[in-house]
């Protein structure tokens, strides 16, 4: 089943508890979409789409989930596992993620076009069959704050060749055409799970200024129901 959200209603559309992996969402209208306790078969949006809330959910599919400059995205307990693909991509959008778990290689978050993201806790698990590789966060002229862990996926019997956390870099940042990386120190070390207390870079286009926090009026029933507070 594919649900197309093309309307402009100011009342959010709440999608909850659909059959696992059997419902896709196409978001084109300005109506806010709320996804609760759900694994979709894919979420796509187009420029002009409204805000997206997600709690305890998997935005499925095999390609990146792309969010537009017209959108803000709030998520709690988000799980993305697209193999060998970037998981989540923000093109000029704003996002706040409270608990983000990923598996497999491919960047966990790609930010472009002045996007702004805050990720309060990521647990990133790579693919032990592919060897250490990849960048967890790939940002271009955008801003990012995150805390989290690059996890080791291995057992003693796999040996040192397979036992590593799979991430070469926490961040690859391109700002005004200049690219720098921030590496994971023990990417190829047995048992090399790494924690990062905090990372912040303000590289959004134009520099300076401030990014507005979510308006409480936008959170609507989420606040009243005890969600995202």
Confidence band, pLDDT 50/70/90 cuts, at residue 59: very high
- Check whether residue 100 and residue 171 sit in a common domain: yes
- Check whether residue 46 and residue 108 sit in a common domain: no
Entry pTM: 0.83
- Check whether residue 112 and residue 97 sit in a common domain: yes
- Check whether residue 118 and residue 157 sit in a common domain: yes
Domain that holds residue 120: 64-206
SS3 of residue 73 by DSSP: strand
Confidence band, pLDDT 50/70/90 cuts, at residue 188: low
Strands 24-27 and 33-39, by their bridges, are unpaired
Does position 132 have pLDDT exceeding 60, yes or no? no
Provide, for the chain, the percentages of residues in helix, strand and coil under a 3-state DSSP scheme, each rounded to the nearest 5.
5, 45, 45
- Check whether residue 19 and residue 54 sit in a common domain: yes
Q: Which of 74, 71, 17, 66 is nearest to 43 (CA)?
A: 66
What is the domain count for the chain? 2
- Check whether residue 71 and residue 103 sit in a common domain: yes
Assigned domain for 218 exists: no
- Check whether residue 74 and residue 136 sit in a common domain: yes
Alpha-carbon distance of 106 to 83, in angstroms, equals 7
- Check whether residue 25 and residue 105 sit in a common domain: no
The answer to whether the CB of 130 falls within 8 A of the CB of 98 is no
Give the count of beta carbons closer than 10 Å to the beta carbon of residue 209.
7
């Amino acid at each position: 089943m594919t649900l197309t959200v093309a309307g402009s209603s100011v009342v959010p559309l709440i999608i909850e508890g659909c059959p696992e992996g059997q419902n896709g969402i196409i978001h084109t209208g300005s109506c806010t979409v709320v996804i609760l306790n759900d694994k979709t078969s894919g979420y796509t949006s187009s420029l002009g789409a409204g805000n997206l809330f997600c709690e305890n959910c998997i935005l499925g599919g095999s390609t990146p989930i792309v969010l537009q400059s017209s959108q803000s995205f709030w998520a709690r307990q988000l799980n993305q596992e697209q193999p060998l693909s970037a998981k989540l991509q923000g093109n000029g959008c704003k996002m706040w993620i409270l608990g983000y778990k990923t598996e497999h290689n491919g960047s966990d978050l790609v930010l472009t076009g002045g996007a702004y993201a805050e990720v309060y806790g990521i647990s990133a698990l790579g693919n032990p069959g592919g060897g250490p590789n990849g960048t967890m966060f790939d940002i271009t002229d955008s801003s990012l704050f995150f805390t989290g862990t690059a996890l080791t996926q291995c057992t003693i019997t796999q040996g040192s060749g397979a036992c590593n956390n799979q991430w070469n870099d926490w961040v690859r940042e391109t700002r005004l055409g200049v690219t720098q990386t921030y590496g994971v120190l023990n990417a190829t070390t047995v048992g090399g799970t790494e924690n990062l207390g905090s990372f912040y870079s303000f590289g959004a286009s134009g520099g300076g200024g401030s990014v507005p926090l979510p308006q409480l009026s936008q959170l609507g029933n989420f606040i009243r129901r005890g969600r995202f507070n």
